[in-house]
Amino acid sequence: MKIENSGLVPLSSKPTEATNRIDKKEEPKVLSTVRSGQDKVEMSDNARLLSKARATLGTVEEANPERLEMLQKQIESGDYKIQVNDLAKKLVARFYPK
């Protein structure tokens, strides 16, 4: 038995869903930007400063708590004397390394 549809009577009693045509050429702009490799990342000034601070902290020596306590007691008692020549040498060496 052969069933033919003359177009007057549908083969199915269910109505068909409306379909929308999709053109492949119409891509969202976001996808075209990602595909072309034009992503961009920017760091705020605070983030740059924090990054530099973290890098610098890695090179700082640990403080000696015993020495700090001794120096604090000397300063409080008035016995601490600044050796100006030694301080100047250390500053010059720090800011003008060889």
Domain ranges of the chain: 65-98
Higher pLDDT, 60 or 44: 44
How does residue 14 score in pLDDT terms, banded at 50, 70 and 90? low
Residues 6+ apart with CB under 8 A from 39: 33
Indicate whether this model's pTM tops 0.75.
no
What per-residue confidence (pLDDT) applies to 55? 87
User: How far is residue 27 CA from its own chain's centroid?
Assistant: 29
How does residue 78 score in pLDDT terms, banded at 50, 70 and 90? very high
Residues 6+ apart with CB under 8 A from 80: 71, 74
